[in-house]
Structure formats: structure tokens, C-alpha cells
Amino acid sequence: MSKSAVVISTKTKPPKRSLAEKLGITLVGGGKARGSDLVMALVMFLPAFLVLIFLGTYPIITALISAFQRRPMFDPSGVVWVGLENFISVFQHPQLWNAFSNDIVLTIASISIQTVIGIAVALLLQQQFTGHNILRGFVLFSYVFPVAVAAIIWRFMLSDSVGIIHHLIDAWRLPIPNTWFASPKTAMPTVVMVTAWKYFPFMVITFLARLQTIDVTLYEAAKVDGANALQRFWYITLPMLMPVIVIVLLLRTIWTFNNWEIVALLTQGGPVYSTITPPILVYNTLFKEFSLGRAAAISVLMTAVLLVAMVFYLRAYNRSEESLS
């Protein structure tokens, strides 16, 4: 018998693994899940999963289809396929590019402020001092406020007729532009300020949770090597926070870019279209011009912009994870 035949005869086939073993599913106690358990889990999971898939995909598909149709809101039988006509009409809209540029400015400015304040406050709350738990609760004050309530309160506070902030600036003769929502030069910075105030606690919560998972021995070793506080932040804290920062920036970019409530309640896109954004433009196109097709076309353009941004964020996330490994 040849040597090769002996080698072949001694080989044994590996035992077949169940689907649960291939997926790495184990029980809480460490035991392997049986096939019947996996089937029961799928039976319990699939109905809710299918409902979520339907609720997530149906609006997207409907919006995509509507973007290529002329759909009168009050005459469902008058639907006509128009191809790219809605997109051509939207690109000719005099406020389209102004709306997108305003939204990009609002998104970048507000999330930049939120990130800087969020990191600073999270580092402060990470320290142990008397009353730090109470202060953590106060930080959430603006975030738990309903958006409508927060926007209306700020609108009254900055009003040039009944606003307390407006009257205090006048009474104390402070060198601050006191036009707020009345001037195109100050309307967008005011919206940015209110947006940053409303949502920076989300950054604080996320960054604080990440800070509490960083191994303190890294800081102790850095202190032994003579690193000061700024060096410890730059070489330890910031790299450890970077993956979380990128994901939070992605989420806040999507939420801010699509935000309608704050701008609508504060300025309604004015004055002189200085704060108009694509969500406001979609609202006006749908409920004032009654054009569902053009509104859907603007929504598709918004989605395309966010998809491009998402690609850059995910690449940045991968680089931050690689730098840690």
C-alpha cells in the first residue's frame, strides 16, 4: 500500500455542526443551543422583524416612486408618470441650493459646538467631586424638553416685544446684536445656538459612557512617563473616544439635516429665506404647493446627500478603529 493511501485512509470527516453552532449561539449558562430552540427563536423573532422591514421599506419605496410621478394630493386617480420632470423642476427652484447650503451650515456648525461642549462637559462629569451626580441630572435638562416647548420658549425669550433676553441686552446696553430672528445676519446663528443647546446632552451622555470604560492604568502609566493633562487627553482620551465621536457625528448629522421642527418653530425659513432648509422646502412644496412629486424629489436628493456623508463617516470610523488596534 502506498504512503498516500495510508494518509488518505487515516483522514476522518469533521462532524457536522448545527446552524446554532455555526452562528455561535450559546445559552446563558454556556451550553449549546439546540435546533428546536433556534427554530422557536426564529418563529418569535420573524414577525416583528418583518413588520419593521415593511415599515422601513414601504415609505422609502413610496417616496422613490412618487418622485417620478405627478401626484395630486386631492385626486388619487390623476397620477401620471413624468420621469425626471420633478427633478428638473426642483433643480430650477430658486431656493433649492440656498436651502441645502443653509442646512449644511446649520448641521456643521451645530454639531461642532455640540461635540466640543459635549467632550468638555463629559470630562468634567467624569471627575469625582461633591454633587457630580446631581450635575449629571441637570445636564439632561435641555434634552428632556420637548422640541416644540423648547423652541417656543426660546422664541419668546428672544422676542423683540416680550423677550426677557432682548430687554436685558437693551437695558444693560451690551454690545450684542439684538436682532436675533429679525435679521438675516443673526437668524441662522440663533438657530444654530438653540439647536446646540437642545441636543448637546446627547453628546455628553455618549462620551461619558465611553470615558467610563477607559482603563485608568493607561493614565497612571502616562503620569509615570511625565505626560501632562493635555498630553494624556491628546494621546489617550481622544483616540479612545474617536470611534464613538464618529458614530455620534453620523447620527447627529442625519438628525440635524432632516430636522424640521426647530427651524419651522423658530423662523419658518425666514427672514428672506435666510434659514430655509430642505425639510422646510419639502413642507412648503407639499402643503402649500400641493405637489407630492416635487416634495418626494427633494427628499430623494436629501437622502443622496446623507448617503455620501455616511460613506465618509464610515471610512473615518474604520480608520479610528484601526488606529486603536
Residue of higher predicted confidence among 135 and 122: 122
Contacts of residue 258, Cβ cutoff 8 Å, sequence gap at least 6: 279, 302, 306
Element (H, E) at 161: none
CB 276, CB 95: distance < 8 Å: yes
pLDDT recorded at residue 290: 87
Tens digit of each residue's pLDDT (9 = 90 or more) over 150-201: 999 999 999 888 889 988 988 898 888 888 988 899 999 999 999 999 999 9
What backbone phi and psi angles, to 5 degrees, belong to 278? -55, -40
Distance of alpha carbon 256 from alpha carbon 271, whole angstroms: 20
Contacts of residue 156, Cβ cutoff 8 Å, sequence gap at least 6: 162, 163
Distance of alpha carbon 32 from alpha carbon 34, whole angstroms: 6
Contacts of residue 207, Cβ cutoff 8 Å, sequence gap at least 6: 118, 119, 122, 241, 244, 245, 248
Tens digit of each residue's pLDDT (9 = 90 or more) over 40-65: 777 888 888 899 899 889 988 988 99
CB 71, CB 293: distance < 8 Å: yes
pLDDT recorded at residue 166: 85
In a domain, 107, yes or no: yes
In a domain, 207, yes or no: yes
Q: Which domain holds residue 228?
A: 90-324
% of the chain with per-residue pLDDT over 70: 88
In a domain, 279, yes or no: yes
In a domain, 212, yes or no: yes
Residue of higher predicted confidence among 115 and 31: 115
The total number of structural domains that make up the chain = 1
pLDDT recorded at residue 27: 53
Distance of alpha carbon 149 from alpha carbon 155, whole angstroms: 10
Tens digit of each residue's pLDDT (9 = 90 or more) over 279-320: 999 999 999 888 889 999 999 999 999 999 999 999 999 999
pLDDT recorded at residue 45: 84
Q: Is the pLDDT of residue 127 over 50?
A: yes
- Span 267-275, average pLDDT: 92
For residue 198, give Cα distances in angstroms to 82, 111, 149, 153, 203: 41, 11, 11, 12, 11
Contacts of residue 40, Cβ cutoff 8 Å, sequence gap at least 6: none
In a domain, 15, yes or no: no
Q: Is the pLDDT of residue 4 over 50?
A: no
pLDDT recorded at residue 244: 94
As a whole number of angstroms, the longest Cα–Cα distance in the chain is: 107
Tens digit of each residue's pLDDT (9 = 90 or more) over 78-102: 788 888 999 999 999 999 999 999 9
Tens digit of each residue's pLDDT (9 = 90 or more) over 249-269: 999 999 999 999 999 999 999
Residue of higher predicted confidence among 220 and 73: 220
Q: Is the pLDDT of residue 272 over 60?
A: yes
pLDDT recorded at residue 29: 53
Contacts of residue 90, Cβ cutoff 8 Å, sequence gap at least 6: 96, 294, 297, 298, 301
Q: The domain that contains 140 carries what CATH number? A: 1.10.3720.10
Q: Is the pLDDT of residue 32 over 80?
A: no
Sort 157 into a burial class: Cβ within 10 Å, 0-12 / 13-18 / 19+.
Answer: middle
pTM for the full predicted model: 0.83
In a domain, 46, yes or no: no
Full DSSP string of 273-289: TTT--HHHHHHHHHHTS
In a domain, 275, yes or no: yes
Q: Which of 66-70, 75-79, 306-310 is predicted with the least confidence, judged by mean pLDDT?
A: 75-79
